[in-house]
Amino acid sequence: MNTLDHVVAAFGALRANPVRGFLTTLGVIIGVLSIILLVGLGDGVRTYLAEAFSGLGSSLIEVIPGKTERKGMGPPPLNNPRKITLEDARAIERRARTLDAVSPIVFGGGTLRYLDRRRDVAVFGTSAMYPDMRNLHVQSGRFFDDEDALAGRHVVVVGTTIVRELFGEENPLGRTVKITDVPFRIVGVMAPKGQTFGFDWDDIAYVPAQTAMDLFQLDGVTQVLCRSRDRRSTAAAMDDIREVLSARHNFQEDFTIRSQDDLLETVNDLLRTMTLVILAIASISLVVGGIGIMNIMLVSVKERTREIGIRRAVGATRTDILLQFLVEAVVISLVGGLVGLGLGAGIIAIARNVVPDLPVELSAWIVAVAMGFSALVGVLSGVLPARNAALVDPVEALRYE
Amino acid sequence: MSAPAPPPVIAMRGIRKEYGQADSRVVALAGVDLVVLRGEYVAIIGPSGSGKSTLMNIIGCLDRPSAGTYALDGEEASALPDHRLANVRNRKIGFIFQNFNLLSRANALENVELPLRYRGLSARERRRLALQSLDRVGLANRVTHRPNELSGGQRQRVAIARALVTQPALLLADEPTGALDRRTGREIITLFDELHAAGSTIVVVTHDPEVAAYTRRRVSLVDGAVVEDGPVPRAEAAG
Ligand SMILES: Nc1ncnc2c1ncn2[C@@H]1O[C@H](COP(=O)(O)OP(=O)(O)OP(=O)(O)O)[C@@H](O)[C@H]1O
Ligand SMILES: [Mg+2]
């Protein structure tokens, strides 16, 4: 008897009692379904993040004050490191040859007032290079330039959310707003960018870096954003920056340089670990499903004792009987796995139809893993019943009522 | 020179079968010598507990004797490992049981094909031989019926077709009419008679004097030993 015969026989046994077959596979169906959905969500989030990151400009490198040893996204260290100044940023721009753009950034928050209207917004102090580095565009008016910055002019460029909330239909260009009681003239409006990770890019007011530092009474920048000439030269660019900056900091590396790719890699590592944890948890339901199969198979072997006797009488060896029940367990488990997979794929398809932005996807590797697990569960749950079946004594079995 | 005589289908010497140890020891067979030649039609009779089923299980290679030698159709079979015994059963023995022992989920054709599956024949060859065998027992028009759609006599015919399909050296029947009414039982006896006439070697274990009367030789067991072995008287056979 070859394996195909056993597979055909196994489907026959399943068809003989479809309700029991369904109940037997339920555990595996649920196990595979939860693996598909949970891991699908994890994979989807990863894809979403990768896209979001590349939407923020590629080959970017950021320099922040303080040394963090770990490669993570943790908070900057608490001890008071030496600040990174605007002069540092300019030095990097002048001396680092592998870079094609450098922009200091000062993060702050403030209340923006226009007439009797007010709104709490994010204030970015930066330079004229910034929009290009972050793939941002000006919708109307202009971004401030180096001359505005040098002259210390109080000019501001605002996002569309701010315009909508403070000006409504009115044209904001040329109007004067107050940021924490200091007057600024609006010279430009940014084109809408939308949200990333819940942060609204259109709710930002951009001012020259030095102006922001004066406004918030800071003597250092929050970070320096650099862009290497291309993705391949990122590592060389980071070395350049380190050399320039440590020369200005008494040859101490009291700052941290990290590339956007590093950051994405860190997030991906984290998500991958989470996916594996989810997989492990979902596997528990597969194990429960396997125990269910084993249980039913043990009962089935008992019930089919006479069948075993008949098969042995007409020439089946112990191995034939063993394989018959083992294949049956694997077929039950695989059918359950396929049903779970089908349900999972269906739910994902419907979900993406209803909520197009939902970060969930069905990737090939998880399909392979789910089916592999199902087969493994089948084998493991079938071994004991199949062994019992093979050990049945044909004489006893033929007498069995 | 004439061709050498074919080996006996059954050649048993000093077959013993004991169950249990020491105090609780049961001697089911106490040294049975039995030779059955090709084409013979033999009944094994005896009171309940005399060892008929035990002897039949050993003849059918379902069980091994505790002592003694047994050659089936010229092949030594008393000390074979389990998988070899399965192979011998498949090739040399056709079993017919009192309660038919058909697979209830399978139809007549699939039941008859079953021994051929374990022989690895192609589906087409299996089907051809099984149909031929069903035709021989007069069930050519019932091949797709399941056992529960057949009468008792028809079920036993399916079982006989399954026993015949491998062209075994020996047909081995245990109370083949035990579960049938008188008239249907007689039909089965007639079928056995025809098979015997066509050259089959048949051994029947039975309580039924009518079944025994149709055989040509009668072996009587008492307490695990052969007490009588001889031809069935003609008058009885006719009767
Ligand atoms: N598995 C076993 N374990 C212990 N004793 C057994 C076993 N099988 C049979 N025996 C004993 O061996 C003896 C012969 O039994 P066997 O079944 O061969 O008799 P039988 O002639 O077929 O009887 P019946 O006509 O009632 O079927 C009996 O005493 C029985 O109790
Ligand atoms: Mg008996």
Task: Point out the ligand nearest to the CA of residue B29.
Answer: 1
pLDDT band at A401 (very low <50, low <70, confident <90, very high): confident
Structural domain spans, chain B: 40-63+86-231
pLDDT band at A56 (very low <50, low <70, confident <90, very high): low
Mean pLDDT of the B21-43 span: 93
Model pLDDT for residues A319-349, shown as the tens digit of each residue? 999 999 999 999 999 999 999 999 999 999 9
Give the separation between CA A163 and CA A192, rounded to whole angstroms.
Answer: 11
Question: Rounded to 5, what percent of chain A is helix, strand, coil?
Answer: 55, 20, 25
- pLDDT above 90 coverage of chain B, percent: 85
pLDDT averaged over every residue in chain B: 92
Query: Which residues lie near ion ligand 2 (Cβ < 5 Å)?
Result: B 53
Write out the two tokens for B118.
């374990």
- pLDDT above 90 coverage of chain A, percent: 41
**Residues in contact with A385: Cβ distance below 8 Å, sequence separation at least 6, in sequence order:** A294, A297, A298, A300, A301, A325, A329
Angle at the Cα of A350 from the Cα atoms of A349 and A356, rounded to 5 degrees? 80
Burial of A343: CB neighbours in 10 Å, binned 0-12, 13-18, 19+: middle
pLDDT at B198 over 80: yes
Q: Where are the beta strands (DSSP E) in A147-211?
A: 155-158, 176-179, 182-190, 195-196, 199-200, 204-208
Model pLDDT for residues A85-139, shown as the tens digit of each residue? 888 888 888 887 888 889 999 998 888 999 889 999 999 999 999 998 888 999 9
pLDDT at res. B238? 45
Q: Chain B residues within 8 A (CB-CB) of chain A?
A: 57, 60, 62-63, 82-83, 86-87, 89-91, 95, 97, 101-103, 105-106, 114-115, 117-120, 162
pLDDT at res. A75? 54
pLDDT at res. A8? 83
Q: Do A313 and B95 touch (CB under 8 A)?
A: yes
pLDDT at res. A260? 80
- Assign B182 to helix, strand or coil: helix
Give the separation between CA A334 and CA A375, rounded to whole angstroms.
Answer: 6
Total Cβ atoms within 10 A of residue A94: 11
Gap from B222 CA to chain A (nearest CA, Å): 22
pLDDT at res. B144? 95
Write out the two tokens for A179.
């940021």
Type and span of the H or E element at A306: helix A305-313
Q: Are strands A60-65 and A255-259 parallel, antiparallel or unpaired?
A: antiparallel
Query: Which chain A residues have a beta carbon less than 8 Å from that of B117?
Result: 1, 5
CB B202 within 8 A of CB B192: yes
pLDDT at res. B239? 42
User: With a 6 A CB cut-off, is B54 part of the ligand 1 pocket?
Assistant: yes
pLDDT at res. A79? 55
pLDDT band at A263 (very low <50, low <70, confident <90, very high): confident
Q: At what angle do helices A318-354 and A305-313 cross, to 10 degrees?
A: 130
User: With a 6 A CB cut-off, is B49 part of the ligand 1 pocket?
Assistant: yes
DSSP structural state of residue A254: -
Angle at the Cα of A386 from the Cα atoms of A385 and A387, rounded to 5 degrees? 90
pLDDT at A154 over 60: yes
pLDDT greater at residue B237 or residue A240:
A240
pLDDT at B156 over 70: yes
Total Cβ atoms within 10 A of residue A264: 17
Give the separation between CA B17 and CA B67, rounded to whole angstroms.
Answer: 7
Task: Indicate the range of A33-37, A46-50, A189-193, A209-213 predicted with least confidence.
Answer: A46-50
Q: What CATH class does B40-63+86-231 carry?
A: alpha beta
pLDDT at res. A236? 85
pLDDT at res. B226? 96
Work out which ligand 1 atom sits closest to the CA atom of B20.
4
Q: Are strands B75-76 and B26-36 parallel, antiparallel or unpaired?
A: unpaired
pLDDT averaged over every residue in chain A: 87
Question: How much distance in Å is there from the Cα of B54 to the middle of ligand 1?
Answer: 6
Work out which ligand 1 atom sits closest to the CA atom of B221.
21
The residue to mutate among B17, B19, B57, B97, having the most atoms of ligand 1 within 8 angstroms of its beta carbon, is B19
Work out which ligand 1 atom sits closest to the CA atom of B17.
12
Give the separation between CA A134 and CA A191, rounded to whole angstroms.
Answer: 12
Inter-CA distances, A400 with A29, A79, A321, Å: 35, 81, 17
CB A377 within 8 A of CB A291: no
Mean pLDDT of the A145-166 span: 91
pLDDT at B182 over 60: yes
Task: Indicate the range of A168-172, B62-66, B107-111, B147-151 predicted with least confidence.
Answer: A168-172
pLDDT at A197 over 80: no
Angle at the Cα of B212 from the Cα atoms of B211 and B213, rounded to 5 degrees? 90
Question: Across-strand partners of B15?
Answer: B32
pLDDT at res. B203? 97
pLDDT at B166 over 90: yes
pLDDT at res. B84? 94
pLDDT at res. A193? 86
Question: How much distance in Å is there from the Cα of B228 to the middle of ligand 2?
Answer: 19
Give the separation between CA A221 and CA A242, rounded to whole angstroms.
Answer: 17
Question: How much distance in Å is there from the Cα of B221 to the middle of ligand 2?
Answer: 12
Count A/B contacts: CB-CB distance under 8 Å.
Answer: 61
Task: Point out the ligand nearest to the CA of residue B174.
Answer: 2
Which residue in B157, B159, B153, B146 sits closest to B107, CA to CA? B146
pTM beyond 0.90, yes or no: no
**Residues in contact with B194: Cβ distance below 8 Å, sequence separation at least 6, in sequence order:** none
Mean pLDDT of the B146-167 span: 95
Mean pLDDT of the B6-33 span: 92
pLDDT at A57 over 70: no
Mean pLDDT of the A369-375 span: 91
